[in-house]
Structure 1
Amino acid sequence: MLYALSKEGARISATPGIEGYCEGCNALLIPRCGDINTWHWAHESCSCDSWNYEPKTYWHEQWQRRFHVDDTEVGIKKNGEFHRADIVGNNDVVIEVQHSPLAESEIIKRERFYGNMIWVLNARTFAHNLSLVHERDDVFHNSLSLYMEDEKFSGSLTRIKLTVPSGDDGAIENALKANQPLCRQCSELEDCWYWESSAYYNGKELPTDIKAAYYAFILHDCLYAKLEDENKNYPIDIKWKHRRKSWSAAKMPIFLDIGSQLLIWLGKNHFGNFFDAKVVTKDRFSRKYRKRLPTL
């Protein structure tokens, strides 16, 4: 949990050395303030919410900060059962932001309990498996070929020259740095890198984290300003390769967070791994579903 109650009943964030109490069961909580996970509160033994076992990440925190603090981690009791919703928005719609995989049985349980709800999935780890197709290809004027170029070097060997776009928010550069030394910077004066892994010569592709970072940038660069200016969604066809089959059980709307300022809203109509979908800005999503402005 990101929030607990103080002795005075105010919501407080986890901080070393202070006391906080659970809003659901009033138990004294332990502030977990380490160097890896986002600072959070934990029960000494078992949580009063049996679904509250997913570690809170920076991704969770960023989503909850889009909403007012009192509309996050909201306790809900039904038929003697208690669970803590990640976010409760307009018209009491529950927004569950899910980072880890969920079993089909868990998806069904949560949808039955909450009823009116929306899923937001962290798709950054599998964004490279999402292929976007639409008849208006002019919108996607940027492509990987603008930033990736095969080069011959050292005889017959080939390497990929990767250019970092000027509008990169750090995601692409961080992905490139994470794959050193197989990925190395061309020079200190050039904003480009070389991918020289022997795996590439055998026909294997770039690391998935590098491709995912480029895909997210391209989609954002092409569509974000357009969608915000026109205040609308953009219809696309999407192929989700290696789709997680458990999500076939979901009946409620699913939004995929691909790591930029955009979401992919999966439509109900799909054939196999192909979906009718829409691209939505996170800002528009937040404006639509939040009850009030977020806490500064």
Structure 2
Amino acid sequence: MPPSPKSEGVCPACGAKTVSKCGTQKLWHWAHVSRQICDPWWENETPWHRAWKSHWPPEFREVVQFSPESQEKHIADVKTASELVIEFQNSAMNDEELSSREAFYGNMVWVVNGASFLKNVEICAKLPSPDHPGSHDMRLYQPRSGAIDFMYYLVSENEPNATMVLLHGSRDCESFVEKTYDGHHLFIWKHPREIWYRSTVPVFLDFGGSVLWQLKKFNVGQTRCLKSLSKASFIIENEGTVGA
């Protein structure tokens, strides 16, 4: 039931009493009367959380999930009609919680609030699409700060397990990059939140504005990259709506 002014309800996860919060500054929502937390994965909901969840209808928000095997009950931030869980994460977490949540929900993605570490992230050179067959032979090197180009070698040009390889610069494949570019960039992340490198599901970083950045690897190599995606596209592709 959607909240309305001066109304009461019951938490579907724990059965505790809830009250409506219907002010003029925030998205209307339900809150527990007591400070007791019914879901150990719960974190204080911020305006950032509420703004994101507002793009989905009420029946897709805060959906209780129950596992008959473990008898666990948790509340998904968003669960779409196609049963994709979207978790909006603002605070830090440990590896145990990460793996537990991913195992529990299965079909899920993370959207991480990157505002607190934006100053440590530098978006660097454009890359060719790692999905293009012409990129499969490429192995990239991590960039230096301020670099507008990138360095790479081709597996096919070198002996297996070679200690020295023939290097190329991105200017050698400039036309290929422009032809196949689909939003991928090298990046530098000082003091990274490495837990997100260990996720087994898609992770999208939200630095504000109209773009999300998905953490990825560039093909089978070890170099990580980011892929840009408009927030509107992410929302629509995952059964939400955006304002007119």
Length-normalised TM-score, structure 2: 0.67
2:206 corresponding residue in structure 1: 257
Which secondary structure state, in structure 1, belongs to the residue aligned with residue 116 of structure 2?
coil
Between Structure 1 and Structure 2, which shows a larger proportion of helix residues? 1
Spell out the pairing of 1:222-237 with structure 2 (5 A cutoff). 233-237=182-186
Q: Runs of 5+ in structure 2 lacking a partner?
A: 128-180
Contact 1:30 1:44 in 2 (8 A): no
**Structure 1 residue 236, shift from structure 2 partner:** 1.1
Show the counterpart of 1:89.
Answer: 80
Structure 1 unaligned runs (5+)?
A: 1-9, 137-231
| One of 208, 212, 224 as aligned partner of 1:275 | 224
Letter in structure 1 aligned against 2:238: Y
**Match status 1:285 vs 2:225:** no
2:21 corresponds to 1:42: no
Match of 2:60 among 71, 75, 87: 71
CA RMSD, Structure 1 to Structure 2 (Å): 3.1
CA gap of 1:135–1:96, structure 2 versus 1, over 3 A, is: closer
1:100 corresponds, among 64, 72, 91, to: 91
Residue number in structure 2 paired with 1:111: 102
**Structure 1 contact 85–96 (Cα < 8 Å) conserved:** yes
Structure 2 CA distance for partners of 1:101 and 1:271, relative to 1, 3 Å:
farther
User: 2:14 corresponds to which residue?
Assistant: 25
Alpha-carbon distance in structure 2 between the residues aligned to 1:75 and 1:102: 21
Q: Structure 2: how far apart are the matches of 1:19 and 1:259? A: 34
Q: State the alpha-carbon separation in 1 of the partners of residues 101 and 14 from structure 2.
A: 20
Which residue of the partner structure matches residue 144 of structure 2? none
Cα shift readout 1:24-45 (whole Å, capped 9, x = no counterpart) = 2332124567999876502525
- Counterpart CA distance in 2 for 1:82 and 1:31 is 23
Aligned amino acid, residue 125 of structure 1? S
Give the paired residue count: 188
| Kept in 1: contact 2:126–2:183 (CA 8 A) | no
Pairs within 5 Å for 1:80-229: 80-135=71-126
How far the C-alpha of 1:233 sits from its partner, in A, is: 4.7
Is the CA contact 1:264–1:277 (under 8 Å) kept in the aligned structure 2? yes
1:239 to 182, 188, 195: 188
Residues 111 and 43 of structure 1, relative CA distance in 2, 3 Å threshold:
farther
Equivalent residue letter for 1:117: M
